[in-house]
């Protein structure tokens, strides 16, 4: 399989794609903007690096145009829970078979200085001038309430085997609704 498995010799959770014997030309990764969005450049499959908050509508269009593709959305918690939250809500209630991978680090990693909607109230990260003043959204509760039928959260970013397992199960899940996989960690490396 011509996948690019290893980044700086680090095993990747996206080895799930090889485990499932998917051909790279049948996989389409769609990302928004952010550190997490760069993932698509490290995987040897089709990919579109789109706009901040908009990977889900792009991915929906790609899936509708070619239902045979395995379409995977990759976004940050700012991307999918902030500016793009409305798209996530409607992806949950529509009959589009997408897998959404959210890299949840609690901050706007690329641009800095801003809490994401998943950061708990009162937490002060390195790049925040003051502790966060807002309550957090719980992405798992949100995803369940809008109709996603496979929802999972990884415990720790460096538990690569577990993340690969969750991604594999999310892609395998073929219910009439989309699936979401959320990872909660201070730092995510893939």
Ligand X SMILES: Cc1ncc(C[n+]2csc(CCOP(=O)(O)OP(=O)(O)O)c2C)c(N)n1
Binding site for ligand X (CB under 6 A): 33-36, 52, 76-79, 103, 105, 107-111, 116
Report how far residue 141's alpha carbon sits from residue 133's, in angstroms, rounded to the nearest whole number. 21
Residue nearest to ligand X (CB): 76
Q: Which is nearer to ligand X, 74 or 164 (CB)?
A: 74
Closest CB 15 distance from ligand X, rounded Å: 21
**Least distance CB 79 / ligand X (angstroms):** 3
Place of tokens 């594999």: 168
Under 8 Å CB-to-CB from 87, ≥6 apart: which residues?
A: 53, 54, 56, 57, 80
CB of 37 to ligand X, least distance (A): 7
Decide if 132 contacts 119 (C-beta within 8 A).
yes
50 or 178: CB nearest ligand X: 50
In the structure, how many helices (H) and strands (E) does the chain have?
Answer: 6, 6
In whole angstroms, the minimum distance from the beta carbon of 5 to ligand X comes to 22
| Phi and psi at residue 38, to the nearest 5° | -75, -10
Nearer CB in complex with ligand X: 117/177: 117
């Amino acid at each position: 399989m011509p996948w690019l498995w290893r980044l700086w010799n680090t095993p990747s959770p996206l080895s799930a794609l090889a485990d499932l014997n998917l051909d790279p030309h049948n996989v389409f990764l769609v990302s928004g903007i952010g550190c997490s969005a760069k993932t698509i450049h490290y995987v040897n499959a089709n990919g579109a690096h789109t706009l901040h908050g908009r990977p889900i509508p792009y991915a929906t269009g790609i899936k509708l145009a070619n239902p045979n593709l395995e379409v995977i959305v990759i976004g940050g918690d700012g991307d999918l829970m902030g500016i793009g939250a409305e798209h996530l809500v409607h992806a949950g209630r529509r009959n589009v078979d997408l897998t959404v991978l959210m890299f949840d680090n609690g901050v706007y990693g690329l641009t800095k200085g801003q809490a994401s909607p998943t950061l708990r109230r009162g937490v002060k990260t390195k790049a925040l001038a003051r502790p966060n003043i807002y309550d957090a959204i719980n992405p798992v509760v949100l995803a369940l309430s809008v109709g996603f039928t496979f929802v999972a959260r990884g415990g720790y970013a460096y538990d690569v085997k577990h993340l690969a397992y969750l991604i594999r199960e999310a892609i395998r899940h073929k219910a009439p609704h989309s699936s979401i996989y959320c990872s909660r960690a201070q730092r995510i490396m893939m």
